[in-house]
Amino acid sequence: MKLRIHEIFHSLQGESSRVGLPTVFVRLTGCPMRCVYCDTVYAFSGGSNMEISDILSKVAGYGTPYITVTGGEPLAQKDCHHLLKELCDAGYNVSLETGGAMDISGVDKRISIILDVKTPASGEVENNKWANLSLLKSTDEVKFVLCSRADYDWAKDVLVKHKLTEKCPVLFSPVYSQVNPTELAEWVLADKLPVRMQVQLHKILWGEVSGK
């Protein structure tokens, strides 16, 4: 059983509630979406086919319990579900970063899903699979990547309509170099939103560098 893997690397988790934790990233090749702010365009193609056993072997060499499966869009490869199960069976603490256009119902319940709900300015709002929101567990997280004040207001409405903070933690993240993080922080405080604001730690440390 093989997956198309673009890269496997060791870095600090730059996002989600796991920010700052040494983590092994398994980045799968390919994505059906084209978000305007995408910072992993390089992963739309390329990479190499790897057996799941070889992926686990390489992951084990880094000696960390935290694994993030990401992309691209990892769930676009159907055998990703098998990789997720094998990682959990091996005892790793695993998170999955998914764009929200793919059905998450088949994801192993031991996985912490980081579900990226696409905003209007992303260019992919029509591809949100809203049924996914009813499947969220308390160990999952919902992320909104915000391009503007209009995106922020839209995300607030989604937050209330779907009672997201009653389901799991919610993350608001400014698009790197487009939304001023200080302004976003002030919006969140003014509206008293029960969300976690995040910035991309890896970009603060290393800039927009592949493999970090």
Average confidence (pLDDT) per 10 residues, the chain, 212 residues: 96 92 97 92 95 98 97 96 98 96 96 98 96 97 97 97 97 90 96 94 74 52
76, 48 Cβ separation under 8 angstroms: no
User: In this structure, is residue 211 part of a structural domain?
Assistant: no
Query: Distance between CA 39 and CA 15 in Å, rounded?
Result: 14
- Cβ neighbors of 207 (< 8 A, separation 6 or more) are none
Query: Distance between CA 149 and CA 125 in Å, rounded?
Result: 16
User: In this structure, is residue 59 part of a structural domain?
Assistant: yes
Domain that holds residue 77: 2-206
Whole-number Cα distances in Å, 184 to 12, 60, 147, 195: 24, 38, 10, 12
Query: For the domain that residue 83 is a member of, what is the CATH number?
Result: 3.20.20.70
User: In this structure, is residue 212 part of a structural domain?
Assistant: no
User: In this structure, is residue 48 part of a structural domain?
Assistant: yes
**pLDDT of amino acid 203:** 79
**pLDDT of amino acid 212:** 52
| Count of domains observed in the chain | 1
Residue-wise pLDDT for 96-154, tens only, equals 999 989 999 999 999 999 999 999 999 999 999 999 999 999 999 999 999 999 999 99
Judging by DSSP bridges, how do beta strands 112-117 and 141-146 pair with one another? parallel
Q: Identify the sign of the CA torsion 5, 7, 10, 12.
A: negative
User: In this structure, is residue 36 part of a structural domain?
Assistant: yes
- Virtual torsion, Cα 64, 16, 204, 27, nearest 10 deg: 60
- Report the predicted TM-score, pTM, of the whole model to 2 decimal places: 0.93
**pLDDT of amino acid 205:** 83
Query: Distance between CA 12 and CA 22 in Å, rounded?
Result: 4
User: In this structure, is residue 32 part of a structural domain?
Assistant: yes
